[in-house]
A and B are shown apart, each in its own frame.
Chain A
Amino acid sequence: MAEDLVLDTAIRDWVLVPLSVVMVLIGVLRYFVAKLMRSFQPPDRKALKEGQVVLRARNLKAGANFIPAKSFRVRRFYFTNEENGLLHVPKDQAQNAQAQMFSDPNMAMDMMKKNLSMIIPQTLTFAWVNFFFSGFVAAKIPFPLTQRFRSMLQNGIDLSTVDVSYVSSRSWYFLNLFGLRGLFSLILGEENAQDDTQRMMQMGGFGFDPTKSLSAEKDSLDIVQHEWVLPKMEQRAEEVLRKLVK
Chain B
Amino acid sequence: MAVLEDGRASEKRSGDDGDDMPIFNAENLQSNMKSIYYSRTFLSIIGGVVAGIWGFTGLMGFIFYFLIMATASLGFVAKAKFSTHKYFDCRNRILMDGFLGGLMSFVLFWTFAYDIVHIF
A binds B: yes
Which residues of A come within 8 Å of B, CB atoms?
4-5, 7-9, 11-12, 16, 20, 65, 139-144, 175-176, 178-183, 185-186, 190, 229, 236
Judge whether A179 and B19 touch: CB under 8 Å. Answer: no
Q: Smallest CB–CB gap between A219 and chain B, Å?
A: 22
The distance from the CB of A241 to the nearest CB of chain B, in whole angstroms, is 15
The 4 closest A-B pairs by CB, nearest first: A179-B108, A182-B105, A182-B41, A12-B120
Residues of the A chain whose Cβ atoms lie less than 8 Å from the Cβ of B62: 143
Q: How far is the CA of A144 from the CA of B60 in the complex (A)?
A: 12
Say whether A178 contacts B115, CB under 8 Å.
Answer: no
Q: Which of A7, A16, A143 contacts B57 (CB 8 A)?
A: A143
Interface of A, secondary structure class, is helix
Q: Number of B residues whose C-beta is below 8 Å from A?
A: 34
User: How far is B61's CA from A127's CA once the two chains are assembled, in angstroms?
Assistant: 32
User: How many CB-defined contacts (below 8 Å) exist between A and B?
Assistant: 77
Query: Judging by beta carbons under 8 Å apart, are B41 and A140 in contact?
Result: no
Asked if A11 contacts B58 (CB within 8 A), the reply is no
Q: Smallest CB–CB gap between B94 and chain A, Å?
A: 18
- Determine whether the beta carbon of A183 is less than 8 Å from that of B59: no
Contact in complex: A183, B105 (CB < 8 Å):
yes
CB neighbours of A143 from chain B (8 A): 57-59, 61-62
Give complex CA distance A139, B3 in Å: 28
Residue on B nearest A190 in the bound complex, by CB: B34
Instruction: For B112, list chain A residues within 8 Å (CB).
Output: 16, 20
